[in-house]
Amino acid sequence: MTTVPLSPSPRRRAVLARRVRLLVAATIAYNVAEALVAITAGTVASSGALVAFGLDSVVEVASAAAVAWQFAARDPELVERRERKALRIIAVSFFALAAYVTADSVRALAGGGEAEHSSAGLVLAALSLLVMPFLSHAQRRAGRELGSASAVADSKQTLLCTYLSGVLLIGLAVNSLLGWSWADPVAALVIAAVAVKEGREAWRGDACCAVPPPPAPGGATVEAGCASCGPGCTCCS
């Protein structure tokens, strides 16, 4: 009977750690540019949604920087010791994002001003909707194989940015075409709730499926191997 290793070899771990560092660097670079464009365009168009999106990019930079700091260590044991602190930073970034989006959405629903059309905002939201899923998937895959809960948590932060990109794109488009200014803040409140959920998991250090489950005997499917995960775990997604 062939034995399948349950964790990557030291050489493979080094490759995965380098991959995570490169993905995090790409995420930081993109989000810095995204924040500058979104905040500038949002200020010009008086769009709270665009400004909020730009601040979300700043939060994403903080989250990615925490993972970069963790994996800057070359000693695998030091990387593991930094895991908890990185998770706490990511959790706080989720909570900060949720708090700002909620406050901005309530302000918008209460009649805090109507945004003007923003071509730059529409292009930026569409571009992010294409770029962010790739970065999130690549980092989540590397993080799970490496067994890093912080890398997986940061990939969720990036995925949340994808959702916000979709919300922003729909909100800006609907506002420009139909004048429905309430659509964006309502959808953003749903995203804020998801951010709180993800933040709680990161704060608890929930490494749900960060390490791939061992293969089930008899050639069982991956879904069967995920049966040991707790409620709400999305290891098979």
Any idea which of 56-65, 85-94, 221-230 has the lowest mean pLDDT? 221-230
* pLDDT per position as a tens digit, 10-35: 888 888 888 888 888 888 899 899 99
Whole-angstrom CA distances from 10 to 5, 14, 82, 136 are 12, 6, 18, 24
What SS3 string covers 172-199? HHHHHHCCCCCHHHHHHHHHHHHHHHHH
pLDDT band for 219, please (50, 70, 90 cuts). very low
Which H or E element spans position 62?
helix 48-71
Compute the Cα dihedral for 35, 37, 38, 41 and give only its sign.
positive
Q: For residues 218 and 221, what is the distance between their CA atoms, to the nearest angstrom? A: 9
Q: What is the pLDDT of residue 201?
A: 80
Amino acid letter, residue 20: V
Q: What is the pLDDT of residue 66?
A: 82
Please name the residue that has the structure tokens 């044991």. Answer: 77
Whole-angstrom CA distances from 150 to 132, 199, 207 are 18, 12, 8
Task: Give the Cα-Cα-Cα angle 151, 155, 157 (nearest 5 degrees).
Answer: 115
Higher pLDDT, 26 or 223: 26
Cβ distance 50 to 42 under 8 Å? yes
Amino acid letter, residue 16: L
* pLDDT per position as a tens digit, 165-175: 888 888 888 87
pLDDT band for 213, please (50, 70, 90 cuts). very low
* pLDDT per position as a tens digit, 200-212: 887 887 545 444 4
Cβ distance 183 to 96 under 8 Å? no
Q: Is 120 exposed, middle or buried (0-12, 13-18, 19+ CB in 10 A)?
A: middle
The proportion of the chain whose per-residue pLDDT surpasses 70, expressed as a percent, equals: 81
pLDDT band for 214, please (50, 70, 90 cuts). very low
- pLDDT at residue 216 greater than cutoff 60: no
Q: What is the pTM of this model?
A: 0.68
